[in-house]
Amino acid sequence: MWKFLAGAPAAGMILGKIYFDSFVAGAALSAVFLLLYPYFRRQEEEKAKRELLLQFKDLLYSMAASFSVGRNMKQALSESLDFWGNTYGETDRIVKEVRRMLRSMEEANETDVKVLKDFAERSGLRDIQDFANVYESCKTTGGDMGRAISRATEVIADRIEMDRELRSMMAAKLSEGRIVGLAPVALVLAMRTFAPEYMSPVYSSASGAMVALMSLGLTAFALVMIERINRVEF
């Protein structure tokens, strides 16, 4: 949050100075940028979910290894903490979630199915919910738990890896689009720096300010469209 609260006003002041040569305009733009906080928060939440999903993939591998030698869910979760070694620390969400599930089973005597379903609900991630459903179904029907968990791990891990690769490709395209979208800002800055007499009419008349506002608005529109085009739900 502090990054946004520091970056948004700074960006507004810089754009106000570049396009309007006015700190008052910069303050107005800063206020507009601060209104984008809900969007920034959603982006941060999605990023946290993607990180949790990758951490869950590692949890799946450790659990599959434990179930293959006859461990139960409680033992598999406990062993996963040792399985990761130095990969994750106490600040990582997956470690917090595993410890929370273990406490629920040990202190509140909750069932392994319930704690796993609760974790899936808190995560809001389809892959974790699918795994919880597979585990519940296998536990209810008395199927081969080790084999079912191993197969579910393979399928879900492959899907997670494919999702990661697709997101990496889209992130590269999004970065390219942002560079192109911000090119007008760089051009205006270059003209202001190297040809200030060319830009003086923009800063000294109402019509010039209107042109600058239209230019900034079109740049913002282009960036919004770039974000929407490259936003794909997997």
Hunting for tokens 């081969």 — which residue is that?
Answer: 144
What is the mean pLDDT of the segment spanning 3-28? 85
Q: What's the pLDDT tens digit per position in 60-75?
A: 888 888 888 888 888 8
Instruction: Give dist(CA 105, CA 63) in Å, integer.
Output: 17
Q: What's the pLDDT tens digit per position in 77-134?
A: 888 888 776 788 888 899 999 999 999 998 888 898 899 999 999 988 888 888 888 8
B/e letters for 75-85, b = 16+ CB within 10 Å, e = fewer, are ebbbbbbebbe
* pLDDT for position 233: 55
Q: What's the pLDDT tens digit per position in 174-203?
A: 888 888 888 888 888 888 888 888 888 888
What is the mean pLDDT of the segment spanning 210-231? 84
* pLDDT for position 144: 73
Q: What's the pLDDT tens digit per position in 132-151?
A: 888 888 888 776 777 877 88
Averaged pLDDT of the chain: 84
Radius of gyration of the chain (CA): 25
B/e letters for 106-136, b = 16+ CB within 10 Å, e = fewer, are eeeeeebeebbbbbbeebebebbbebbebbb
What is the mean pLDDT of the segment spanning 17-28? 86
Nearest residue to 64 (alpha-carbon basis) of 56, 81, 76: 76
* 19 has a pLDDT exceeding 90: no
* 6 has a pLDDT exceeding 70: yes
3-state secondary structure of 182: coil
Structure tokens at 127: 């892959």
- Using alpha carbons only, give the angle 214, 219, 223 rounded to the nearest 5 degrees: 145
* pLDDT for position 232: 59
Instruction: Give dist(CA 223, CA 226) in Å, integer.
Output: 5
* 168 has a pLDDT exceeding 70: yes
Q: What's the pLDDT tens digit per position in 41-57?
A: 888 888 888 889 888 88
* pLDDT for position 98: 92
* pLDDT for position 42: 86
Burial of 100 (0-12, 13-18, 19+ CB in 10 A): middle
Instruction: Give dist(CA 80, CA 63) in Å, integer.
Output: 7
